[in-house]
Each structure stands twice: as C-alpha cells, then as structure tokens.
Amino acid sequence: MRVLIACEYSGRVRSAFRELGHDAWSCDLLPSEDNSPFHIVGDVLPLLSEGWDLMVAHPPCTYLAVSGLHWNGRAPGRAEKTEEALEFVRALMGATIDRIAVENPVSCISTRIRKPDQVIQPWWFGEDASKKTCLWLKNLPLLAPTNRLPGDDKTRRANQTPSGQNKLGPSPDRWKERSRTYQGIADAMAARWGSDIGDLL
C-alpha cells in the first residue's frame, strides 16, 4: 500500500509500515529524526490528493488537548488557534483517502467534530506508560492489544509520578518528547492496518 503518515517527525509509524513492505512516507514541518529519505518536510495538506491507500495522521495537539483548553479564555488569540487546529483536523478527516486514522490525546475533537472510535493506552502494547490516546477511524478496524501489561488505568506506570502526572519536567522540548508515538503502538498500527483488513471491518 501507499501509506502517508501525516504530522510525524519521529519516523516510528512510517518505519513500522516500511518494515512490512509498504511504500510509506512521513510528512511534517520538522525534519525527520531518523534522517530518512522517505520523509517530506512541509505542509501535508497539498499531499492528501496524491493517491494514498491509507493515512495515519497525528495532528498537533497543543491547541486541541483538553488539558490546555482552559487557556483559551485567558491567552489572547489562543481560542482562534484552537479553531484553526480543528479546521486542520477536518481537512485530514475529509481527505479522499480510503482508509484514515487520526490520533490525538483526549481533546476537543471529541466534542467539536465527533467522538473517537477507540481509546487506547500504551500499556496495551507492551509499553510501561500511561497516555490515553484517541483514534478516529475511517474504514479501519480497532487496534487489538498486542502485549497487555498487568494492571489497569489506575496503575502507576514508568512515565508517571506517584500522583499520576507525567514525569517530564518543563522544557522547550517537552511537547516533542511527549508527542512521539510509542513503538509498541506504531508496530500494532502497521500490523493491523497494513494487513488484509477486509474481513476485520
């Protein structure tokens, strides 16, 4: 399949699909961390009509995540940035691509566009981490857990403080560190959505 991984600079999801033999490309405003020749630096919107079979999109969550929406009434211009971010998500979801997955943390996409089809956790896929992640799917099956670790959503994971907060302290790159797709999830996406999924829908 021709696979577009939108808004990904880490290359993890793109590499997972390429390892299974797919013609997968990533696109982001940032260069790829792995210096891959299969990464396009720039705006992804002009690429949406270039004949992809599948797109996995990770739109930036800065102005979408529920955790930051309280700033919209305090910081001038921030509410407008949320509206712009929602328009970007609508453009991704409305792309003329047969199979689409949009991934984001808990965000206003759920209330302003539609509820997610699935909510997953990294620890379902062998990652000792907690990060509630929503998936909006078009013509794709739900992700099946591949290596579910013991415990539940209340279990403290390696990326959490005792009070349940993320361990990463404030820094200029905190957003970047938190936005990388966990490898276990990337591998599960490629295995599930990169296979013959006709019987799974």
Nearest to 64 by CA among 100, 35, 101, 90: 90
Q: For residue 120, with 0-12 CB atoms within 10 Å meaning exposed, 13-18 middle and 19 or more buried, which class applies?
A: buried
- The token pair at 154 is 């209340």
Instruction: Tell me the pTM.
Output: 0.89
Per DSSP (E only), the strands in the chain are 2-6, 23-28, 39-41, 54-57, 99-105, 118-120, 133-138
CATH node for 2-193: 3.40.50.150
Residue 174, pLDDT above cutoff 50 = no
Q: What is the pLDDT of residues 140-155, one digit of tens each?
A: 999 999 999 999 999 9
Q: Are 66 and 108 in contact (CB under 8 A)?
A: yes
Q: What is the pLDDT of residues 83-142, one digit of tens each?
A: 999 999 999 999 999 999 999 999 999 999 999 999 999 999 999 999 999 999 999 999
Q: For residue 67, with 0-12 CB atoms within 10 Å meaning exposed, 13-18 middle and 19 or more buried, which class applies?
A: exposed
User: Cα-Cα-Cα-Cα dihedral of 55, 56, 62, 67, to 10°?
Assistant: 130
> Between β-strands 133-138 and 23-28, what pairing exists: parallel, antiparallel or unpaired?
unpaired
What is d(CA 89, CA 80) in angstroms, rounded to the nearest whole number?
A: 14
Q: Which of 50-54, 133-137, 165-169, 173-177 has the lowest mean pLDDT?
A: 173-177
Q: What is the pLDDT of residues 177-194, one digit of tens each?
A: 656 899 999 999 999 999
Nearest to 98 by CA among 51, 144, 143, 130: 51
Q: Are 42 and 29 in contact (CB under 8 A)?
A: yes
Looking at the chain, the number of H-run helices and the number of E-run strands are 5, 7
